[in-house]
Amino acid sequence: MPSNAANKREQLRALQEAQDRQRRNRRLIGISAAVIALVLIVVFAWMAISSMNTRNQNAAAAVAPNATANRDGIIMYPGKAKANAPVVHVYLDYQCPICHVFETRLGPTLDEMGQAGEVQVINHTMTFMDGNLRNTASTRAAIAATCSDSQGVYPRFNSTVFSNQSAEEVPGSVGYTDDLLRQTIPTQLGITGQRLSDFQACYDTKAPQDFLDGVNRMAYDAQVTATPTIKVGDKVLSQLNPQSTTPEQFRQMVLQG
């Protein structure tokens, strides 16, 4: 019957169109997916490679002369500690606000104890805050501080950096400037002339980078992932509250281990 034949033709045509459309769509989606995947892979590869380029291959001669034997930190007052003095490990990040609070409120007490030889103080500088704040200030401050060890002023450099921490830390802001770290602070501490040139060469070539990578890695292996973390020997001072613990309480916590 003619109407049925006409119907049939129409249906066949509709079928053909639908199949053509589907073929076109498959191709379109296939190509789009491939392009997106390619873009993601390229962006990922670019980011991975550019992060590897920051490793500096320059010879790191005499970096951190007062580092510990296994290079996981820097000894604050080398040679002062009495025999069998407890070892206090301070894990810190220069952009960590509570580390600043700790340094301000309890740092002097720890310094006294370290200089008197009651304890041995070891600083472990971590740099993960760079990731959280999207800058490089933690790393650069740590590099500057480590370079200051070669000039024999590490403890003062350490506390001076913290006293320059900005009250508000904005993600994406520069944090500590190069000028502050390589010029202002060392000059303030009496590093001038040839010593300043040596210090700045150390800073500009990022000589301590490998050392710092090791410090971060060993902090991770010691299961420290947040700062400030204070350990006496192997034990974390878990009751310590940098904002409320008094210097006297802190002293007791440290001596009792």
Q: Site residues (CB under 8 A) for another protein?
A: 11-12, 14-15, 18-19, 22, 25-26, 29, 33, 36-37, 40, 43-44, 47-48, 51, 93, 96-99, 101, 128-132, 134, 171, 217, 220-221, 223, 225-228, 238-245
Sign of the torsion angle spanned by Cα atoms 187, 163, 124, 206:
negative
Look up residue 37 and give its two tokens.
């995947």
The rounded distance, in Å, linking the Cα atoms of 157 and 64 is: 13
Compute the least distance from the CB of residue 94 to another protein, in Å.
11
Q: Considering the complex, what minimum distance in angstroms separates the CB of residue 161 from another protein?
A: 16
- Using the minimum distance from each CB to another protein, give the nearer residue, 16 or 188: 16
What does the block give as tokens for 199?
């210090």
Instruction: Round to whole Å and give the CA distance between 136 and 172.
Output: 9
- Interhelix angle 154-163/107-115, rounded to 10 degrees, is 170
* Nearest-approach distance from CB 144 to another protein, in angstroms: 20
- In the complex, least distance from residue 236 CB atom to another protein, rounded to whole angstroms: 10
Which residue lies nearer to another protein by CB, 79 or 131? 131
CB of 76 to another protein, least distance (A): 22
Q: Of 126 and 147, which CB lies nearer to another protein in the complex structure?
A: 126
Assign 54 to helix, strand or coil. coil
Q: How many whole angstroms separate alpha carbon 254 and alpha carbon 232?
A: 6
Question: Are 94 and 161 contacting, i.e. CB atoms less than 8 angstroms apart?
Answer: yes
Least CB distance to another protein at residue 138 (A): 10
From the list 135, 192, 198, 137, the residue with the least C-alpha distance to 162 is 137
Nearer to another protein, 87 or 98 (CB): 98
Rounded Cα distance between 125 and 90, Å, is: 8
Q: Considering beta carbons, is residue 67 or 215 the nearer one to another protein? A: 215
Of 129 and 153, nearer to another protein (C-beta) is: 129
With a CB cutoff of 8 Å and minimum separation 6, the contacts of 54 are 209
